[in-house]
Each structure stands twice: as structure tokens, then as C-alpha cells.
Amino acid sequence: MAMEITAVAQKLLLQLVSSAFQRCRLSEDLCRLSVLLDQSTATDPPITSISIADTGIGCILEQFQDLRCPRDFNGAKIWDGLLSVKTTCFTDDEVYFYHINLDEYISNKRLKRQPSQSKNGVKFSGTEVSLSVFGSMDVLVAPILGFFQKILVLHIPNVTMDLMVKQGASPGTQTQYFFAVNAEKTPCFTASNLERLKFGLEDYVLRHENCLATMCDHCFSEREHLKVGNGTICHEDKHKRVGGTVEVVIVISDLLETTQHCSRSCDGKTKVLYFDNFSPSPVPHFVLSALKKMDWKSYGLILANVNDQDGHVFLEWENFPSFVQIEIALHWYHNQHATRQKNGPGINLVKKGIKNALDDLKAKHEGFLLSSHARKICSYVPDLARSIAGLIFSSTDLDFQGDCLSVLGFQPQEVEREAVEDCIQRKIVTVIGMNERKPQKDQEAAPFLFFDGNSETSYFEEEEVEGEYYSTSLE
Amino acid sequence: MEGKISSSEDTNLLQRIKEFTRSVVEDLAEGRSPKISINRFRNYCMNPESDCFCSSDKPKGQDILTLKREPQTYRIDMLLRVMLIFQQLLQENRHASKRDIYYMHPSAFKAQSVVDRAIGDICILFQCSRYNLNVVSVGNGLVMGWLKFREAGRKFDCLNSLNTAFPVPVLVEEVEDIVSLAEYILVVEKETVFQRLANDMFCKMNRCIVITVSTAVDLFFLISVLTSFAFLSSNFFGKGMIVFWQGRGYPDVSTRRFLRLLIEKLQLPVHCLVDCDPYGFEILATYRFGSMQMAYDIESLRAPDMKWLGAFPSDSEIYNVPKQCLLPLTEEDKKRTEALLLRCYLKRELPQWRLELETMLERGVKFEIEALSVHSLSFLSEVYIPSKIRRDLNSP
């Protein structure tokens, strides 16, 4: 019972925090989002006061129309149903104060205006939402932290978030968590959404889901060693004239061997994060379907299982190499400011987005994510390279040698055979990877105009050979 | 014999190898997949419609090898390996047999047929013959009769000792100064028959050239290498430890080239004497129509007007072959015969050969040439062959 109560309270809380975040995001200034959880120890069951304050654009009261949260649940009281909202827009002269009764279905009775406060000419905007719930705040901390950790993946640079957890008045019982985008290394202010998603997911991975302040040394060596692919695909819905974009980022990390000592390392499972219009969201069904229907095989991956636990999705692979980890983030958003659109991107769009990201990975890294077919072909690469290098180096025609070497980008004087062989190997692998990506249409053989009769190989074909086989010994 | 390129154009082939290498390197450097296009040749098909064009020497299609498919990549891999060997051979002016080449990297090649295929591919690619790449065919042909020639300066005077077997030269391209007073050429499947004719002084009585392929194998070699063959004929001839291998008369490349050379230079009719069984017929077909494996080089390897002297299935009655010599066709024999009958060249060119083959199948029996000698040892030399040849000369 207690879990069910908390689930309801969590949901409401996350909705409020998410709205606050959106208000900050839409503001073009640097904003702060602060969440305060204050549990009073005096009462039993304890009451937790929650306050969500942001300095974003002022809120629109329609946002609260859709909020629903029952006051009680199966007889147990959750809260008193009252939201206290203070909000002001930049151009407003006053800070408006409202009590919103979420229990009330009659709309004009929901909202009760309270006396406003004058801003005395100071220009600012922001919102503060307060409520109290019955119950311990312990169960509320984790979802909020989770929300902040995930929202950092979007790498929105102008929002700083913090969570303050208090239990009573003394400072000893206070904990504060800060979340901000590290804008030093990454050019996020001018970056596109996709670039931000990329940086954000990289950080998320390196810091173990943003639980750590910096990159985990046990697991990762350098940010640059991550293999990242991104794909984006737009959707134009002609009927509703609302377009949307799906962005996908895939990060593949090669873990260090010391990852075994790290308590947070995953076990080869791939976490899938989904964002719906700049807010973390449980992975919807159509995305699950898209993940299941993706042609992973042509990238050398075999999907064993898709685990869906309350919207948290993990992909499990067959024969997955150890010390490798894959994380996927998907973001779907509308192109225009459409707040109430319910239409999603659809399975095909999501699949295309994932495919674009995988292709991007393949293109950036030769010989990576090759299908098993291509890997079989790659097994010939060392031999092929050796023969080609042999043909170059064993030729007595030095001009020819020099010519070939310069075509490969080497200076004839300072050249080592091994280096040339390596170079040729890499080029062949690139070609094999490229062959995989090219569309199939130019590979179809022309249909036979004449019947191409089966030529049965005579069993004598061997005889010719064996005739010589014996004779060689006579020489 | 010209082949397609004269042997003085070694440098030309080296040039071609370099050009090929250069183009592959360029393709790779520019991120393109190399494409190697190899013509497909065949000398027959099994198409029942008989509207094929197998009789033409032109290529029948092309294989385009790329790195997109595994079998093609493998073929390219082997081709490059062998090409590297050829470059070295040509540069150092050394020669090697196909077997030698196999033994250079046996674990990579895994089978002789792989090497042969690679050599064939390179020959087709460069439109040359094997000897242009310094591949020597190890030959085991034998010749005797009214013939004189030179090979690389050495004199072969078969005329001087008419019933002595001379080896067919391996470097057939170096054969010159061919002189002959023969009226025809006789090709026999087996060395045992060849020896029979030699013993019977056949060439003294008949002005001809006799060719065969040696079926002698060194016993020590045999024992040291192989264990799994079923037929072992025990015809010890007292020439040291030599065993005659029953039924191994398949013509090697040198012998076929030599025969072709003689035909071109001497313009003589050619007769072929094989056992009356599917194996013998296949040998006959190989002499006449060439082999599929060497289909790309067919012009220099076949004897286009070769006649089938015998033994025919009908001969068993005409010449009273005793019943115990008529062996039943095995299932394998029957399948082979049926497959042979499907070959387009039999329908197109030689209906009478087809007829005999069908008769063989109908009767379900086979016999060896030696069976004709049951009544008299020299029956073959004195009666069978001369009368057949006379009949042939007299027929229109």
C-alpha cells in the first residue's frame, strides 16, 4: 500500500519538476531549478513539504488543468490536494499567488486567487509550487535525483538544478545535490539538440548515469575512446501540420579491465533512455517495438531480449563481447511550440533514426559493427594485404614500387613493409564496411538472357591434376 | 604452337601484373572496392534446348569478383597469392609446375584444385596460357612412330627406332622442325595398349604416329602417398617396381598440346582408341572437345576432327568378344553415361557417337580394348586397327 501511495506522489512530483524544467529551458536566461524536500519529524505519519522553485518563464495556469492526483488512495490519505503556486512573468508587475485544488473537477472552482505581491519594479520571472504530502520523503528523493541525472543527458546549458533534503531544522540533517551541465568542455550554448544529446549521453555513460561527479577511472580511459554515432530524422505530418524530430545517439564504450572492480558496471546490458519533448519519459510501446524489429544483425549484433521494467528498458545481446557497453538515447520532440500534441513519431521513424545512428557509427569507425557476413570477409584481410604488399615490394621495378607507395600516401624512402601492410589492411576493411552500407541496387546481376546451362564438372577434372601429381615425383 | 602470346613477351606479362597491382592499390587508396572481371569459358553445357553457343570459343559470361561476397573474396585471395608467385618466377626466369606452386603454401591453398583455379583465373585475366607464366606442365605422354622433331635443341628421332616410346616433350612451345611421313595419328587410351603395339612392331607395318599417356606410377611414391584407391592392376613388367594403374589414361595438358601441334603442322587424320566404357569415352571427349577446366585455352588443346576408332559396343558382337569379358555397367557408370549424353556437343556435332553411347547404356555392358585380343594376341595390331582405319579411309 505504501508503495502505491508513493508511486502516485512520485508521479505528481515528477510532473511538477518537469514543468519547472521546461519553463527554465524555454527561458533564454540562465535559470535555476530548486527542489526542497522538508520532512517534519513532529507528526506521525510524517508530513513532507515539497517546494519546487524555478526562475524560468512564468507558468501558464492551464498546465495545472491536466494535473490529477487523488487525495487519497484506497482509503489512505496522500495529501490535502492543494497546490500553492506563485508565479510571475518577466513583464508582470506582480507576483501572482494561487491555490489550486486538484481535487476539484469544476474548473472555475479549482483555482482560487490569493493576494498578489508587488514586484516593486524589479524585473524577474519564476514560479514556486508548494505542496505537502503524507509520508516519508525517502521515497521521493530517488525519483527526483533520477530525473535530474537523466535530464542532464539533454545537456541543456542554461539550467542549474538542485535538490535540498531536510529533516528538521539543524544543518546536520540537510543534504544538497547539485546538477549542472559542464559547459567548459562542450560548446553547448551554440550546439544543436543532437550535439547536446551526444555530449549528454557521453557524460551520462562516463559518470555512470551521472551518479559520479567525474568520469569513472575504473571503467573508462578517455572520453575520446568512446565510439559515438548519432542519427536524426524528421517527420512531417501533413494532416496536422506539425512536424517532429527523432534524434538517436548511441555510445559504445570499450571498458578497461579494471571495470571488474567497479560496483556500478553493468553486465553487458544496454540501457535505453527516452525523452519526449525535452523531458525524460518511460520508453513507450512503439519504441519497444522499433527496438525489437530493428535489423541488428546487419550490424553484427544479435538481440536476445528486450527487458521492460516500468518503463526502464534494457536490451540483452547474444554472444556479446566482454568489456564492451552500449547505451542508447532517443529524443522525440515537436518542431514547433506545440504543447498539447499527442501524436508520437511511430515505429518506422524511430527505426530509421536508430539505423541512421548505427550507420553513423559504422562510417566513423572502420571495421566496426560489421555484420557477421562482413566479418567473415574481413578474415581474409591480412592475407590480401600481405599479397598486395608482396606484389609491390617484390617487384624489381622500383618506379612501380614508388608509384604504388605514393598512391597509398607513403614517401618511398622512409617506408616499412609492415606499415604499408597495415595501411592496406585498413583500407580494405574500410571498403568492406562501405560495401555493407551501400544500397543493394547496383549489385544485382542482370538477368540471364540465355539459359546458363549447368556445367557438370567431370570427375575427370581431378584426373588431370592427379596425372601431374604422380609425375612430379618422377622428376 | 603459338599460344596466345609468344614466350618472348615475358616482360609483357610482368607489365600486366604490375598494372593489375597498381589498379588494385589505386582502388583501395581511393576507398573503392576492386572489381576483377574474369571471363567464363565452357566447352559444353547440358542444355536440352541445344541453342547454346558452346562451340564458340568466346567467353560465356563474366564473373566479377569483388569483396562483397565471401567466396569471391576467397578467390581473389588465392589469385593474388598465385600472382605474387608468378611475378617472382617471371622476374627470376624460373619455372614451376602447378604442384610446385601448391607446395609453396599448402596450408593456405589446402588443395591443388584451388591453385589450378587461381592459375586459370590469371590466365583468363591476362589472356595468356600457362606457360607464359612459367608454369610447366608435367607431362607423361609417350609417342612413337614415323616422326622426327626437336625440342629445345634436343633431337627426337622416333623414326630411327619405330617401336620405342619417346616421352612427349613438356615444353611443347619449344618443339620445332617436325618432320613426318605418317599417314595418320593414333591415340590410345592406355600405355598397356601402346606397349602391345610396340611389341607387335605396329609402326613397322603401319605408317603412323602413336601417342598415349603413361599410366606407370612409381610404386614407392604410390605407397608413400596414397592409401585409398580401389583398383590395382598387377601387371608387373619387370622394369623395376612399376605398377600399371588400371584405367588412368586421362590426357595431360602437354600431351594434348603436342597432339594439337602435330595436327596443325602435319594435317593428318587422328584416330582414338579407348576402352568401351564411360571413362574411355570421357577421355575421347577430352581429346576432341577439350576439358572444362582448361576451357579458356581450348584452341591449343583440342583435336577438333578426331575420330573414334573404337572400341564400340557393336564391336563386341562383330569381333566375338567372349561373354566373360563383358563387364556390367555399375550404377556410377550408368549415371556417368547419362550425364555424358546430355552434353550439347554430342547432340550438335556427333550423333553417331551418341548412338554408340546409347547402345552401351542399353546393353548395360562395358569392355576393355584388350578383350579384343582374347582370340589372338596380335589381333589388335594386325586386324582390328588396320581394318578400321581402312574402312574409315574408304567411307565418305
> What is the predicted pLDDT for the residue at B49?
67
Distance from A380 to chain B by nearest Cα, in Å?
A: 7
Render pLDDT for A78-128 as a digit per residue (tens, 0 to 9). 677 788 888 888 888 888 888 888 777 666 677 788 888 888 888 888 999
For residue B356, give the nearest of B299, B300, B272, B297 by alpha carbon.
B272
Res A151 pLDDT > 90: yes
**Active-site residue, from B44, B74, B102, B103:** B103
Q: pLDDT grade, residue A319 (50/70/90)? A: confident
Per-residue cell: A323? 568489456
User: Contact A396/B91, CB-based, under 8 Å?
Assistant: yes
Chain B residues close to A471, C-beta within 8 Å: 138-140, 252
Higher-confidence position of B1 and B303 = B303
Bigger pLDDT: B166 or B222? B166
Q: Give per-residue pLDDT as tens, B237-266.
A: 333 344 444 446 788 888 999 999 999 999
Res. A372: pLDDT tops 80: no
User: pLDDT-derived band of residue A371, with 50, 70 and 90 as boundaries?
Assistant: confident
B260 to chain A, any CB pair closer than 8 A? The answer is no
Neighbours of B148 (CB within 10 A): 15
| Residue of A393, A457, A408 lying closest to B42 (CA atoms) | A457
- Name chain A contacts of B102, Cβ cutoff 8 Å: none
A392: nearest CA partner in chain B: B21
Give me the residues of B, 179-218, that contact A with CB < 8 A.
Answer: 213, 217-218
A456 has a chain B CB within 8 A of its CB: yes
- Say how many CB pairs under 8 Å bridge A and B: 169
pLDDT tens readout for residues B376-392? 888 889 989 999 988 87
Query: What share of residues in chain B are helix, strand, coil (percent, to 5)?
Result: 50, 15, 35
DSSP assigned state of B363? H
Inform me whether the pLDDT recorded for B346 exceeds 60: yes
Residue B47: closest CA among chain A residues belongs to which residue? A453
> What local confidence, expressed as pLDDT, does residue A188 receive?
63
Map out the domains of chain A as residue ranges. Answer: 2-180, 193-364, 372-470
**How far apart are the C-alpha atoms of B367 and B369, rounded to whole Å?**
7
CB-closest option in B33, B60, B97 to A472: B97
pLDDT exceeds 50 at position A194: yes
In chain B, which residue's Cα lies nearest the Cα of A437? B68
Strands B166-167 and B135-136, how do they pair? Answer: unpaired
The per-residue pLDDT for B83 is: 94
Residue A163: pLDDT band with limits 50, 70, 90: very high
Query: For residue B75, what pLDDT is reported?
Result: 93
Burial A431-460 (b: 16+ CB within 10 A, else e): bbbbbbeeeeeeeeeeeeeeeebebeebeb
pLDDT for A273 equals: 93
- Residues 349 to 378 of A: which have CB under 8 A from any B CB? 373, 376-377
- What does the angle CA A142 – CA A281 – CA A37 come to, to the nearest 5 degrees? 30
Shortest distance, CA B205 to any CA of chain A (angstroms): 32
Chain B residue with Cα closest to A383: B77
Identical topology for domains A2-180 and A193-364: no
Q: Residue B46 above 80 pLDDT?
A: no
Among the CATH numbers 3.30.390.30, 3.30.565.10, 3.40.140.10, 3.40.640.10, which is that of A2-180? 3.30.565.10
Confidence of residue A444 (pLDDT cuts 50, 70, 90): very low
Domain A193-364 has CATH 3.40.1710: no
Residues of A in contact with B138 (CB under 8 A): 468, 471-472, 475
* pLDDT exceeds 80 at position B5: no
Look at A408 and B222 and tell me if their CB atoms are within 8 Å: no
Q: Please tell me if residue B11 touches chain A, with a CB cutoff of 8 Å.
A: no
In the prediction, which pLDDT does B6 show? 47
How distant is the Cα of B363 from the closest Cα of chain A, in angstroms?
23
Whether A28 has a pLDDT exceeding 60, the answer reads yes
Q: Do B250 and A457 make contact, defined as CB atoms within 8 angstroms?
A: no
pLDDT for position B208: 93
Q: What would the pLDDT profile of A221-259 be if each residue is shown by its tens digit?
A: 888 888 899 998 887 665 554 578 899 999 998 888 787
pLDDT at B363 over 70: yes
Which pTM value belongs to this model?
0.64
**A387-413: per-residue pLDDT in tens?**
999 999 999 988 999 999 999 988 877
The pLDDT mean for chain A works out to: 80
- The answer to whether A182 contacts chain B (CB < 8 Å) is no
Proportion of chain B above pLDDT 70, given as a percent: 86
**Nearest alpha-carbon partner for A37 in A5, A56, A70, A13:** A13
Contact B218 A474 (CB under 8 A): yes
Q: Is A305 on the interface with B (CB under 8 A)?
A: no
The answer on pLDDT for A196 being more than 80 is yes
pLDDT digits (tens, 9 = 90+) for A329-360: 999 988 765 545 566 778 888 999 999 999 89
d(CA A426, CA A23): 50
pLDDT at A342: 60
**Residue A457 forms contact with B (CB below 8 Å):** yes
Output the pLDDT for position A4: 52
pLDDT (average), residues B59-64:
83
Peptide bond into B165 cis (omega under 30): no
- Across the interface, which of A395, A404, A427 has its CB nearest the CB of B87? A395
Q: How far apart are CA A275 and CA A194, in angstroms?
A: 12
How remote is the C-alpha of B167 from its chain's centroid? 15
The answer to whether residue B44 is catalytic is no
A388 touches chain B (CB under 8 A): yes
Contact across the interface for A464 and B291, Cβ inside 8 Å: yes
State the average pLDDT over residues B354-370.
Answer: 91
Q: What is the structure's pLDDT at A463?
A: 33
Going by pLDDT thresholds of 50, 70 and 90, the confidence category of residue A462 is very low
Handedness of CA A365, B69, A447, B43 (dihedral sign): positive
CA dihedral (A74, A75, A78, A84) in degrees, to 10, reads 110
Which residue on chain A is closest to B53 by alpha carbon? A450
Using a CB-CB cut-off of 8 Å, the residues of chain A touching B137 are 468
Q: What residues of A are in contact with residue B76 (Cβ under 8 Å)? A: 380, 384
Q: Is B40 on the interface with A (CB under 8 A)?
A: no
Contact A459 B100 (CB under 8 A): no
Query: With an 8 Å Cβ cutoff, are A455 and B42 in contact?
Result: yes
- Picking from B70, B80, B292, the nearest residue to A388 by CB comes out as B80
Percent of chain A clearing pLDDT 70 (strictly above): 82
Residues 425-444 of A with CB under 8 A from B: 427-428, 430-432, 434-435, 443
| Terminal Cα-to-Cα distance of chain B (whole angstroms) | 31
Judged by CB atoms closer than 8 Å, whether chains meet at A431 and B31 is answered as yes
CB of A446 within 8 Å of a chain B CB? The answer is: no
Query: A457 falls in which pLDDT band (50, 70, 90)?
Result: very low
Disruptive mutation site among B73, B76, B257 for chain A (greatest number of A CBs within 10 Å) = B73
CA A433 to chain centre: 25
- Record: contact B31-A427, CB cut-off 8 A: yes
Q: Is the pLDDT of residue A441 over 50?
A: no
Of B66, B69, B252, the CB nearest to A467: B252
Cβ burial, residue A337 (10 Å; 0-12/13-18/19+): exposed
Per-residue pLDDT at A458 exceeds 50: no
Residue B163: pLDDT over 50: yes
pLDDT band at A186 (very low <50, low <70, confident <90, very high): low
User: With contacts defined as CB-CB under 8 Å, which chain A residues touch B252?
Assistant: 464, 467-468, 471
> Using the beta-carbon criterion (under 8 Å), do A467 and B286 form an inter-chain contact?
no
* Mean pLDDT (whole number) for B210-230: 55
Range B40-69 average pLDDT: 78
By the CB < 8 Å criterion, does B111 face chain A?
Answer: no
Is the pLDDT reported for residue A464 higher than 60? no
Question: Looking at the predicted structure, is the pLDDT value of residue A46 above 90?
Answer: no
pLDDT at A465: 34
Q: Compute CA distances B229 → A469, B34, B99, B275, whole Å.
A: 14, 43, 20, 20
* Residue to substitute from A370, A387, A394, A436, interface B, most B β-carbons within 10 A: A387
pLDDT of residue A330: 94
Cα dist from B204 to B146, B180, B192, B197, B213, whole Å: 9, 14, 18, 10, 21
Across the interface, of B24, B52, B108, the residue whose CB is closest to A388 is: B24
Q: How far is CA A194 from CA A150, A188, A202, A280, in A?
A: 16, 10, 12, 15
Give the per-residue pLDDT at A107: 66
Q: Could you say which residues from 261 to 320 on chain B have a Cβ atom under 8 Å away from some Cβ of chain A?
A: 282-283, 286, 291-294
Region B37-41: mean pLDDT is 85
Q: Which residue of A has its CA nearest to B44?
A: A455
Contact A256, A219 (CB under 8 A): yes
CA angle A143, A145, A147 (to 5 degrees): 70
B-chain residues near A403 (CB < 8 A): 22
Residue A244 has what pLDDT? 84
Helix axes B10-29, A398-407, angle to 10 degrees: 10
What's the mean per-residue pLDDT of chain B? 83
Task: Provide, as residue numbers in chain B, all residues whose Cβ is less than 8 Å from the Cβ of A378.
Answer: none
Please count the residues of chain A: 475
Quick check: A114 contacting B, CB < 8 Å? Answer: no
